[in-house]
Amino acid sequence: MRTRKLGNSGIEASVVGLGAWVLGGGAVWGADTDDNESIATIKSALDAGITLIDTAPAYGFGRSEEVVGKAIRGRRGQVVLATKCGLWWDDQRGSYFCEFDGRPIQRSLRPDTIVIELENSLRRLGTDYIDLYQSHWPAVAPDKTPIADTMACLMKLKEQGKIRAIGVSNVSIPELGENLASGDVASNQFRYSMLHRAPEQDMLPACRQNNLATLTYMSLEQGLLTGKVGMDRSFSSGDFRSNEAWNPWYKIENRQRVLDFLAGFKPLTEKYACTTAQLVIAWTLAQPGVTHTLAGARREAQARENARGGDILIEIDDLKAMCKAVEVLGEPIR
Ligand SMILES: NC(=O)c1ccc[n+]([C@@H]2O[C@H](COP(=O)([O-])OP(=O)(O)OC[C@H]3O[C@@H](n4cnc5c(N)ncnc54)[C@H](OP(=O)(O)O)[C@@H]3O)[C@@H](O)[C@H]2O)c1
């Protein structure tokens, strides 16, 4: 597995990271999640060369962090542990964001909630330091903590050795600039995939310019770009993937277009002796400005498969042909 630095932090992390959102379970991921299977999945990812694991307190209200903590016990030194702060559910501090499983979540980057969140994460993860501590979503009104105040708090935690590097997630370009002006930012996490390419316009170039690691998320479009979400697969009503307004590519007429598009890569999956998911991961990692990509996995086989995507180097002409196919696919029918 190739590794790359997380910005200027000096931390090397595998180019494919294991995304642990699905391991938190809950209605948003549809199926019942089995913690023993989740632990086996994380161990398989590590065995396959993945060192970067991305989780968050909000993933299953602490459950994802707890299973990650159990899975890495005895192997902490092998792991670049990335978690987050900023989605808060203990009380009314912060500003209302959304509901997960019927429980309201607040967006809060207040120093007083961050210090509590960090202690909770350390306990659940069974560690005394976090390698990459990311603000999950920027603060918003009415309880909008100034970015400089949040960053001052994170810098203090870094000085104390509780976190090794700081990252941001889901920020706009101005918010990214303000974060960079206020402290040491090593990474930026945002949605990017063959079907969601807006970051190519400004975010990826800005990250390159500022030597930030980029942790792309949903680069497999929650399974759609593996080619394994067929026309007959249905999702329960709480599952994100049933929300066609949120992700129109899951609409049945778009799904067929995606399946046809992926079928066009058959000569390439044969040439590189890989699966569609692996080719998509390799394409993502080859895009200018992308340093790392997060791939969620629910099962051991998925984790192993996705890890291998980090080893594939696609030749330039093949990359160009893939980019052309992505252009031709265009926009989803809404
Ligand atoms: N910062 C943020 O706001 C934010 C937002 C979203 C995600 N993230 C991070 O990014 C990570 C990745 O995003 P994601 O998990 O939402 O989406 P993803 O990586 O695009 O998709 C993960 C899902 O796709 C399916 N899958 C994965 N590999 C597969 C394979 N090889 N074959 C078949 N199916 C496969 C699995 O779902 P099934 O088993 O159900 O099919 C899996 O749970 C998250 O886990 C999280 O760490 C961060």
Ligand 1 in contact with 306 (CB < 6 A)? yes
Give pTM, 2 decimals. 0.98
Our mutation pick for probing the ligand 1 site, out of 98, 136, 172, 218, counting the most ligand atoms within 8 A of Cβ, is 218
At 236, the pLDDT band (50, 70, 90 cuts) reads confident
- pLDDT tens string 87-142: 999 999 999 999 988 899 999 999 999 999 999 999 999 999 999 999 999 999 99
Residue 25 Cβ inside 6 Å of ligand 1? The answer reads: no
From the CA of 225, give the closest atom in ligand 1: 20
pLDDT at 278 over 80: yes
Q: Is 133 a catalytic residue?
A: no
155-199 per-position pLDDT tens digit? 999 999 999 999 999 999 999 999 999 999 999 999 999 999 999
Atom in ligand 1 nearest the alpha carbon of residue 275: 31
Q: Is the CB of 54 under 6 A from ligand 1?
A: yes
218 lines ligand 1 (CB under 6 A): yes
Domain boundaries, the chain: 3-230+288-311
Written as six digits, the tokens of 120 are 């909770």
Q: What CATH number was assigned to the domain covering residues 3-230+288-311?
A: 3.20.20.100
The band of 145, judged by pLDDT with boundaries at 50, 70 and 90, is: very high
**Residue from 59, 217, 250, 272 carrying the catalytic annotation:** 59
